[in-house]
Amino acid sequence: MAEPDYIEDDNPELIRPQKLINPVKTSRNHQDLHRELLMNQKRGLAPQNKPELQKVMEKRKRDQVIKQKEEEAQKKKSDLEIEL
């Protein structure tokens, strides 16, 4: 890809393009979090890689299975247990 002509000329009237600063990467919170993640990775303490939606869906599925087991236990009660 050819570079533009204005880069070769040292014309003082032209404004030089500058790289934009990413405010997220310059924030202190982001730097601290990145540093902590790097230290945890070196120690072998990787965070759980499951996305939030997947965690919620697994929890719902577990709850549904537990509820089904409880309903089956209710249906299997003997006549004596029902009378009591």
Domain residue ranges in the chain = 51-83
Spatial distance between the Cα atoms of 46 and 38, rounded to a whole number of angstroms: 9
Interacting residues of 43 by C-beta distance below 8 A, sequence separation 6+: none
pLDDT means per 10 residues, the chain with 84 residues, are 59 79 86 88 73 86 93 77 70
* pLDDT score of 17: 81
Q: What is the pTM of this model?
A: 0.36
Spatial distance between the Cα atoms of 48 and 43, rounded to a whole number of angstroms: 15
